């Protein structure tokens, strides 16, 4: 099978494994709305952000959408469309080394994309799909890259989006389209779970109600099918006495008993004069929508002019972000690829169109979809992405608010040092958040839900913990299971008799719980039989701290 090669490939194929795992920190001041909605906006290099988010969301994302740099060489974008952006150049210098000096634009783009796509695949659920916006500059390289990372058998389609509605006269042949390349972790599962495209009111105009049918608007579907089937070649008599046989080369679309059943139910239409060839009545209320096509015209999913006007209506200026995608385009992706409770990931967050579409679609159908957005540049993340989401949530101009909310997050220190130990800068509260979420799938409970208990050998030394989280090894209880963390002297004593090591004395002084317990610590001095008898699962730090 042909493979794609480029300068620097050997340096990046396994680079995702060397990316340090960082803790994710929530900034309450930059967050907005109902923080418990489960939506995240993460500021930081998306390679590091994806590695940090993987323990929480690996295998749980139903739909990934990304709009990476198109590599056009256009230096004018606020999010640099050329992969000579300072952040990417710095990364290439560190990872690829001196060889990066000889890289072409396409080599750099491939080096940038490869490790990110490798990590993104690990987020997909079994029935999940990834949608990537791209144009002609890199579409052929993207397909080859996706075939290598995901596998050719996971390709679903390349959709064509008509981004312009007026003629483009600057080039030899006018450029009026972009692509959406679609892969699925399991194409057959994706086919079974994907939704049909809902009808627009314009498309629904063909459904009428000329006979005032109490069941509502309908249309007649001709009752013929191609081919010859003996049991579908019967005569049909209309109420006006006209006899119809199937046209030459065709047969009726159903057997006679089924036809008679439909006729008895009033589901057969013979025309106003009751003489016409029969049609099966299909009611608008029965129409689930259309099977998605690869052709996405601008009148159905929006265009670039619409997206610029949309940004202008939100920010009062068109210059906030030069190349946003229209919200209608993202809504079409979500309508096809998600259901109301699904998780959506966009690691090239940009102006926040994906988050906007999730909030808007949830308001329209009452869903509870959640989004995770990652944006590299701090100014864009804070002044554009977050600000747009805040205005969509609260409302802007004459547009009512969608409701909901999001947590604004930044990337903290690496969890491990070069020796594989918990880094010195990691504090109790940092690790507590990570341990509880990876163990339960839920955020750390608020202050007040844990039971405090005097530690053994207590003294006045403070453990290194962050207010406002309580100084207790019991992080919380989830589904009857208590989660404990013995770390950084939370019990005021790092000696084996009363600190980070689980001993008889430490066990006596832990906040009580009658159900099963999971206890994280640097070592355990209790026997396997004792742990089983006490209903304790012990996880050793740092070796059993989940990072994938």
Residue-by-residue DSSP string for 440-496:
HSSPPPPTTSS---PPTT--SPPPS--TTS-S-SEEEEETTEEEEE--TTTTS--ST
Task: Give the pLDDT confidence of 449-470 residue by residue, as tens digits.
Answer: 333 333 334 343 333 333 334 5
User: For 226-238, what is the mean pLDDT?
Assistant: 95
pLDDT at residue 494 greater than cutoff 80 = no
pLDDT at residue 516 greater than cutoff 60 = yes
Q: How confident is the model at residue 429 (pLDDT cuts 50, 70, 90)?
A: confident
- Report yes or no: 498 and 456 within 8 Å, Cβ to Cβ: yes
Q: How confident is the model at residue 85 (pLDDT cuts 50, 70, 90)?
A: low
Residues 497, 492: Cα–Cα separation, whole Å: 11
Q: How far is CA 196 from CA 12, 201, 207, 283, 292, in A?
A: 38, 16, 18, 17, 6
Residues 84, 105: Cα–Cα separation, whole Å: 8
Residue-level pLDDT at 438: 87
Residue-level pLDDT at 222: 94
Terminal Cα-to-Cα distance of the chain (whole angstroms): 31
Q: Indicate the angle between helix axes 353-365 and 327-337, nearest 10 degrees.
A: 60
Residue-level pLDDT at 428: 86
- Report yes or no: 360 and 329 within 8 Å, Cβ to Cβ: no
Q: How confident is the model at residue 301 (pLDDT cuts 50, 70, 90)?
A: very high
Higher pLDDT, 225 or 498: 225
User: For 139-167, what is the mean pLDDT?
Assistant: 95
| Cα dihedral 169→173→177→178 (10° resolution) | -120
Residues 304, 220: Cα–Cα separation, whole Å: 37
User: For 95-114, what is the mean pLDDT?
Assistant: 79
Give the torsion sign (CA, 75, 79, 81, 85).
Answer: positive
Higher pLDDT, 71 or 51: 51
Residue % of the chain over a pLDDT of 90 = 60
Residue-level pLDDT at 420: 85
Integer Rg of the chain from CA: 30
What are the phi and psi torsion angles at 86 (to 5°)? Answer: -55, -40
Residue-level pLDDT at 320: 60
9-198+290-414 has which CATH code?
Answer: 3.40.50.150
Of 321, 301, 302, 298, nearest to 311 by C-alpha is 321
Task: Give the pLDDT confidence of 39-50 residue by residue, as tens digits.
Answer: 999 999 999 999
Task: Give the pLDDT confidence of 122-149 residue by residue, as tens digits.
Answer: 999 999 999 999 999 999 999 999 999 9
pLDDT at residue 503 greater than cutoff 60 = yes
Residues 242, 310: Cα–Cα separation, whole Å: 57
Q: How confident is the model at residue 278 (pLDDT cuts 50, 70, 90)?
A: very high
Three-state DSSP state, 411: strand
What are the phi and psi torsion angles at 394 (to 5°)? Answer: -85, -25
Higher pLDDT, 200 or 217: 217
Task: Show me where the domains of the chain are located.
Answer: 9-198+290-414, 203-286, 428-540
Residues 278, 214: Cα–Cα separation, whole Å: 21
Instruction: Tell me the whole-structure pTM to 2 decimals.
Output: 0.81
Eight-class DSSP state of 162: E
């Amino acid at each position: 099978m042909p493979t794609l090669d480029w300068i620097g490939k050997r340096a990046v194929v396994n680079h995702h494994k060397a990316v340090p795992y960082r803790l994710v920190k929530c900034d309450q001041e930059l967050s907005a709305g109902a923080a418990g909605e489960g939506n995240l906006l993460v500021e930081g290099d998306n390679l590091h952000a994806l590695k940090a988010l993987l323990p929480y969301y690996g295998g749980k994302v139903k739909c990934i959408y990304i709009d990476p740099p198109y590599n056009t060489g256009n230096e004018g974008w606020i999010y640099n469309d050329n992969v000579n952006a300072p952040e990417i150049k710095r990364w290439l210098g560190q990872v690829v080394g001196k060889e990066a000096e000889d890289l072409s634009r396409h080599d750099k783009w491939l080096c940038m994309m490869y490790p990110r796509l490798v990590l993104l695949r690990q987020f997909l659920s079994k029935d999940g799909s990834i949608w990537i916006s791209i144009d002609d500059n890199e579409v052929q390289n993207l397909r080859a890259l996706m075939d290598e990372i995901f596998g050719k058998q996971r390709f679903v389609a390349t959709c064509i989006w008509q981004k312009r509605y007026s003629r483009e006269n600057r080039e030899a042949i006018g450029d009026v389209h972009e692509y959406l390349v679609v892969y699925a972790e399991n194409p057959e599962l994706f086919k079974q779970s994907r939704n049909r495209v809902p009808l627009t009111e314009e498309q629904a105009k063909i459904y009428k109600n000329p006979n005032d049918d109490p069941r509502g608007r309908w249309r007649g579907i001709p009752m013929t099918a191609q081919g010859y089937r003996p049991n579908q070649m019967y005569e049909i008599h209309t109420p006006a006495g006209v006899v119809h046989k199937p046209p030459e080369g065709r047969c009726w679309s159903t057997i006679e008993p089924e036809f008679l059943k439909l006729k008895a139910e009033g589901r057969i239409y013979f025309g106003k004069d009751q003489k016409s060839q029969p049609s099966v009545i299909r009611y608008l209320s029965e129409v689930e929508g259309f099977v998605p096509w690869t052709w996405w015209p601008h009148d159905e999913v929006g265009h670039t002019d619409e997206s610029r006007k949309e940004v202008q209506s939100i920010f009062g200026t068109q210059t906030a972000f030069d190349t946003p995608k229209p919200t209608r385009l993202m809504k079409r992706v979500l309508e096809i690829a998600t259901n109301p409770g699904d998780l959506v990931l966009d690691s090239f967050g940009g102006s926040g169109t994906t988050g906007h579409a999730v909030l808007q679609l949830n308001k329209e159908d009452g869903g509870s979809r959640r989004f995770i957005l990652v944006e590299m540049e701090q100014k864009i993340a804070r002044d554009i992405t977050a600000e747009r989401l805040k205005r969509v949530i609260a409302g802007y101009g004459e547009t009512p608010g969608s409701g909901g909310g999001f947590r604004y997050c930044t990337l903290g220190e690496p969890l491990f040092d070069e020796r594989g130990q918990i880094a010195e800068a990691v504090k109790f509260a940092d690790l507590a958040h990570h341990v509880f979420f990876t163990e339960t799938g839920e955020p750390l409970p608020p202050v007040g839900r844990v039971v405090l208990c005097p530690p053994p050998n207590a003294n006045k030394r403070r453990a290194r913990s962050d207010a406002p989280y309580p100084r207790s090894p019991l992080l919380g209880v989830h589904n009857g299971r208590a989660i404990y963390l013995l770390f950084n002297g939370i019990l005021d004593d790092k000696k084996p008799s009363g600190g980070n090591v689980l001993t008889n004395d430490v066990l006596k002084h832990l906040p009580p719980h009658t159900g099963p317990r999971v206890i994280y610590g640097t070592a355990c001095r209790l026997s396997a039989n004792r742990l089983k008898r006490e209903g304790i699962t012990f996880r050793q730090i740092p070796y059993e701290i989940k990072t994938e």
